[in-house]
């Protein structure tokens, strides 16, 4: 089990990451507003260039989607801290390995439980960690 000091350190780490993610998302949204696409599209002279413009917009959306996914994981981890279940596997109820939490503070499963989850949920959206 994690000590109160360890949980406090993870809370600080997660809260810092939460703020970073929100700022990254905000920055991307401000930089990639509709005007940017219109400017890009206005510079396009053929279908090939339009495809590049579309790709750039899609890449921004993919990046935002990835950041939002991580943000949800951080929120879930902070919720588990508040509820007193942080560091406990959601599948087995066993303590999550400290080294795993240090590498992946949002982990909600032990390494073994995560491997089983990934095998049984192949093809579904999930974290690979």
User: How many CB atoms sit inside 10 A of residue 32's CB?
Assistant: 17
Q: Is the pLDDT of residue 90 over 70?
A: yes
Nearest 5°: the CA angle 23, 76, 111 is 115
Whether 71 and 93 share a structural domain: no
Whether 39 and 81 share a structural domain: yes
Whether 24 and 49 share a structural domain: yes
Q: Are 105 and 16 in contact (CB under 8 A)?
A: no
Whether 18 and 39 share a structural domain: yes
Whether 94 and 76 share a structural domain: no
Work out how many domains the chain is built from and give that number: 2
Whether 76 and 20 share a structural domain: yes
Whether 99 and 57 share a structural domain: no
- Residues 31-58 pLDDT 10s: 765 555 555 555 544 445 545 455 555 6
Instruction: State the pLDDT at residue 64.
Output: 84
Range of the domain at 47: 1-86
Instruction: State the pLDDT at residue 35.
Output: 53
């Amino acid at each position: 089990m994690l000590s109160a000091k360890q949980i406090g350190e993870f809370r600080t780490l997660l809260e810092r990451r939460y703020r970073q993610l929100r700022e990254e998302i905000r920055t991307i949204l401000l930089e990639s507003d509709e005007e940017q696409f219109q400017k890009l599209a206005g510079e396009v002279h053929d279908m090939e260039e339009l495809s590049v413009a579309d790709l750039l917009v899609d890449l921004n959306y993919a990046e935002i989607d990835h950041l939002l996914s991580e943000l949800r994981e951080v929120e879930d981890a902070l919720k588990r801290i508040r509820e007193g279940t942080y560091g406990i596997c959601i599948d087995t109820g066993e303590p999550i390995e400290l080294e795993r939490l240090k590498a992946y503070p949002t982990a909600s499963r032990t390494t073994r439980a995560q491997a089983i989850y990934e095998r049984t949920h192949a093809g579904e959206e999930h974290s690979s960690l």
